[in-house]
Structure 1
Amino acid sequence: MPKALQGATAVVETAERKQTAGSGRVLAALALAQFICSFAGSNMNVMINDISKDLDTTVQGVQVAITLFLLVMAALMIPGGKLTERYGRKRCFLLGLVVYAVGALLCAAAPGLGVLILGNSLLEGVGTALLIPPVYILATLTYPDVTSRARAFGVIMALGGLGAAAGPLIGGLITSGISWRAAFVFQALVIGVIVLLSLRMTDPLPPDPTSSFDTFGAVLAAVGLVLVVLGILAADDNIWLMIGLMVLGALVLGWFFHHVRAKETAGQEPLLPRSLFRNRTSNLGLVTQNVQWLMLMGTSFTVAAYLQVVRGYDAIETGVIFTAATLGLLFTSLAAERMARRCSQRLLITTGFAVAIAGIVVLIVLAGAFTTAWAFVPGLVLIGLGLGMMLTPSVNVVQSSFPEEQQGEISGLSRSVSNLGSSFGTAIAGTILVSGLTKGAYAAAMSCLAVIGVVGLVAATRLPRDTGTAEADVPRATAPL
């Protein structure tokens, strides 16, 4: 080979290695960001007793903090995605990381429940809403071809699922070994690592300062969602207050959709175009996403509270028991790509719901019949297997229902719906637990989750039969929480 050609080849190979290394750092940063946000949504479940005793509050108070964190994420995820167009994806990503880290450190030093809610529910929630949309936009733009993009989102989804499912175990180890406050310091340290990995990250697209932002629409959507979830939380205190808040929330959301229609009629850009809600397949997929995360977070909260409050287990023992669900979720998540080649998305989702619902039934029966911790394992394993089987195809169904130019909008809506499901799961389960039931409260909470799971199963059965395999229906942007 001529020396000139050899030299040119060497230059190209060196450039490719640098690009691969750079994209590897980007992927590591994005995957770790999804991990820590998913971790934050579930790790507090094993700290309920420790936090309530240390801060002189109640289980309900800690539940409110957890639910509000998930709610803030859901309410602000769509506006957060819109802001990336105006201010740039990397800038919003880094800003979200900084806001999140400040919130985590504030939680670590919290003298009372109010400061904990400020740090965890507000600052960490706002930070997550700012940094999560850029994760999927940057991954999509950094990996332009279908193969590399699918692999990248596989890594992000795996770490996201690991953060959500293993949050109780990791949080339990830190809480028992050091303190619940150290778990928030751990989050801040991980954020520091992500920032270091992101310093050399480049934004594939320049920001557009002229991009419009529907501020009034964002406020209406956020207020409506907050009122609905607060209504659920108020159920144990005052039934009329619950009805009032939920009706008011529904009215505000109705106002939001009227505002969207008015903006589109006037030729202006709303927060969300109505066309996103006209696709039947996508709507059914959004329902399954919402119910899946409702079941996951509701189960995590209910089982963790039961083990600590009723069985008297500490944080690490609770985390170890919940590892059964983590292992089940990881097993089917890792096999999701292989299963998607052989089975339709619809079959995977319906089977996943059936397995998860069966797991809840097994959990209720065995936990009620036996006092050993092993009684929780079969049910939790089934729940994890079912949820891991259907998380990816549900997102694939939604994403692949829209063309490339609408991927950013549908991704924001998809993430918001998933996080709203997490909020509902914790709120509904927690409300039942503190509703005054003297016997069977935990079984009632899990039974409620199973009934809602049936709603998701019915929605899955109504998906089109030709919802194909992953090879024929590759998503452009997928992710968990």
Structure 2
Amino acid sequence: MLAALALAQFICSFAGSNMNVMITDISEDLDTTVQGVQVAITVFLLVMAALMIPGGKLTDRYGRKRCFLTGLIVYAIGALLSAAAPGLGVLILGNSILEGVGTALLIPPVYILTTLLYPDVTSRARAFGVVMALGGIGAAAGPLIGGLITTAISWRAAFVFQALVIAVIVLLSRRIDDPLPPDPTRSFDTAGAVLSAIGLVLVVMGILAADNNVWLMIALLVLGALVLGWFFRSVRVKEASGQEPLLSLSLFRNRTSNLGLVTQNIQWLLLMGTSFTVAAYLQVVRGYDAIQTGVVFTAATLGLLASSLSAERLARRHPQRTLVMSGFVLSIAGVVILIVLARSFSTAWAFVPGLLLIGVGLGVMLTPSVNVVQSSFPEEQQGEISGLSRSVSNLGSSFGTAIAGTILVAGLTKGAYAAAMIALAVIGLGGLAAAALLPRDPRPPTARASTSAAPRANT
């Protein structure tokens, strides 16, 4: 069961980063630009972020396993359509839209089922460690695997690879049993789903418009903020009248969870922003091909794998706040090293130390951040918090690609690489500040009592 859930997280994270090494190949084959490929990547991440909350809510009504399988099928259709895309428009339909929708349906069940199937904090930390390890590896190794496939066969074969992995996951998922029965009587806030999706789309599109039209950027950001304000107002009205909104405002009254969500958002922003910036710089400025770019990212993959698989042991020995703070310190140091060494040396080895540190740092903090958030709520709210958690994380991925990518494509030969990386480092400092505010033992009292026999378990 855990293999199916972890592989699902792997392939969705892989899809978000493997296109970074195909920028040149896709743009030449489909007669588009670097910015066109950036839009496709960002829209994929944005669709996931915008629909993750509704996707989490649907699991209560239709069941976690059914939503999981439906998402896998929609994702596979999108991957095969992307493989046959004759132009950028069809690629966006297959990769950005269908794969994004499929991911929004299948990812919330991954985190809900992991939380429900592993009830004690220590075993849950181990399970989340495996899921987050494969998710991080998918994001970090995406450039390497995508580069190998692109160089050996074609960029289109990378999408066929995704469809084949989905087929394996479907077979493995037959062993999964849904711990909670679906409730067909649960209402679904369609208006809230539309408002939240539109608001998030407008905000990210505003960031993407920064390098073309500042006034358009401001207009989109303001409009997005207004729509999101309208969404939260509708939530308050529905709760006051006794109706069930898309998202309960009580989720935002948990200070520990709020801080955990901030750290999740910035972690994925750092991962995807760094991945896009370094990959685009290596290909467009230094002329690396897909396989050369992918090999450089092996350092991040190895670092993330080593630290993620140690999640259970680290959770026993150190407070989760310490782990998250340490992860941010390592990641920010990695970004700084990437800036300094890339300026001083022309060899590809100059990127290895920084990427390795970023991989280790992200691997150290991804699991505790997720565990903090998921463990802050009871079983009946797992659907809501899982959708919110994944939406916030994928929104971070969208912000990372949009912010760093917008700075980068504005002037690849004019110091934009350093500017993009500096922006990521500054945002990382915000994540470190949020992590410092986490309590030493963020678990609720019931969780602390249930694990008091385990020496320093996840404290």
1:379 aligns with 2:354: yes
Query: How far apart are 1:238 and its partner, in Å?
Result: 0.5
**Greater CA deviation, 200-209 or 284-293?**
200-209
Number of the residue aligned with 1:295: 270
Whether the 8 Å CA contact 2:281–2:412 is kept in 1: the answer is no
Number of the residue aligned with 2:237: 262
Number of the residue aligned with 2:225: 250
Q: 1: distance between equivalents of 2:449 and 2:257?
A: 13
Q: 2: distance between equivalents of 1:113 and 1:307?
A: 23
1:198 aligns with 2:189: no
Number of the residue aligned with 2:78: 103
Query: How far apart are 1:400 and its partner, in Å?
Result: 2.6
Structure 2 runs not aligned, ≥5 long: 452-459
**Greater CA deviation, 78-87 or 402-411?**
402-411
Question: What secondary structure does 1:439 align onto?
Answer: coil
Deviations along 1:299-322, whole A, 9 cap, x unmatched?
Answer: 000000011111111111101001
Over aligned residues, Cα RMSD in angstroms?
Answer: 1.9
Q: 2: distance between equivalents of 1:246 and 1:178?
A: 41
**Greater CA deviation, 131-140 or 363-372?**
131-140
Q: 1:370 to 1:347 in 2, by over 3 A?
A: same
Q: 1:213 to 1:39 in 2, by over 3 A?
A: same
Q: 2: distance between equivalents of 1:443 and 1:299?
A: 11
Q: 2: distance between equivalents of 1:316 and 1:365?
A: 24
Number of the residue aligned with 1:304: 279
**Greater CA deviation, 430-439 or 198-207?**
198-207
Q: 1:435 to 1:218 in 2, by over 3 A?
A: same
**Greater CA deviation, 336-345 or 143-152?**
143-152
Residue 155 (structure 1) aligned to one of 119, 124, 130: 130
1:369 aligns with 2:344: yes
Question: What secondary structure does 1:205 align onto?
Answer: coil
Q: 2: distance between equivalents of 1:277 and 1:390?
A: 22
Identity between Structure 1 and Structure 2 (%): 83
Number of the residue aligned with 2:408: 433
Q: 1:40 to 1:210 in 2, by over 3 A?
A: same
Query: How far apart are 1:337 and its partner, in Å?
Result: 1.9
Whether the 8 Å CA contact 1:302–1:430 is kept in 2: the answer is yes
Structure 1 runs not aligned, ≥5 long: 1-25, 476-481
Q: 2: distance between equivalents of 1:144 and 1:461?
A: 27
Whether the 8 Å CA contact 1:396–1:474 is kept in 2: the answer is no
Deviations along 1:235-281, whole A, 9 cap, x unmatched?
Answer: 11100000000000000000011000000110111111111111222
Residue 282 (structure 1) aligned to one of 236, 257, 261: 257
Query: How far apart are 1:133 and its partner, in Å?
Result: 1.3
**Greater CA deviation, 186-195 or 298-307?**
186-195
1:174 aligns with 2:153: no
Query: How far apart are 1:149 and its partner, in Å?
Result: 4.2
Whether the 8 Å CA contact 2:122–2:312 is kept in 1: the answer is no
Number of the residue aligned with 2:43: 68
Q: Give the counterpart letter for 2:89 in structure 1.
A: G
1:188 aligns with 2:181: no
Q: 1:204 to 1:111 in 2, by over 3 A?
A: same
Q: 1:287 to 1:141 in 2, by over 3 A?
A: closer
Query: How far apart are 1:407 and its partner, in Å?
Result: 2.4
Q: 2: distance between equivalents of 1:438 and 1:317?
A: 20
Matches within 5 A, 1:317-396: 317-396=292-371
Number of the residue aligned with 1:445: 420
Number of the residue aligned with 1:217: 192
Query: How far apart are 1:83 and its partner, in Å?
Result: 1.0
Q: 1: distance between equivalents of 2:362 and 2:280?
A: 21
Question: What secondary structure does 1:448 align onto?
Answer: helix
Deviations along 1:24-61, whole A, 9 cap, x unmatched?
Answer: xx222222111111110111111000000000000000
Q: Give the counterpart letter for 1:323 in structure 2.
A: T
**Greater CA deviation, 330-339 or 415-424?**
330-339
Deviations along 1:39-88, whole A, 9 cap, x unmatched?
Answer: 10111111000000000000000000000000100110110111112222
Whether the 8 Å CA contact 2:125–2:368 is kept in 1: the answer is no
Deviations along 1:317-360, whole A, 9 cap, x unmatched?
Answer: 10100111111111211222222212111111112111111111
Residue 373 (structure 2) aligned to one of 382, 393, 398: 398
Question: What secondary structure does 1:272 align onto?
Answer: coil
**Greater CA deviation, 83-92 or 65-74?**
83-92
Q: 1:161 to 1:27 in 2, by over 3 A?
A: same
Query: How far apart are 1:110 and its partner, in Å?
Result: 0.4
Return the TM-score normalized by structure 1: 0.90
Query: How far apart are 1:284 and its partner, in Å?
Result: 1.2
Q: 1:271 to 1:178 in 2, by over 3 A?
A: same
Number of the residue aligned with 2:22: 47
Query: How far apart are 1:369 and its partner, in Å?
Result: 0.5
Number of the residue aligned with 1:479: none
Whether the 8 Å CA contact 1:46–1:171 is kept in 2: the answer is yes
Matches within 5 A, 1:129-148: 129-144=104-119, 148=123
Q: 2: distance between equivalents of 1:80 and 1:148?
A: 26
Matched residues, number: 449
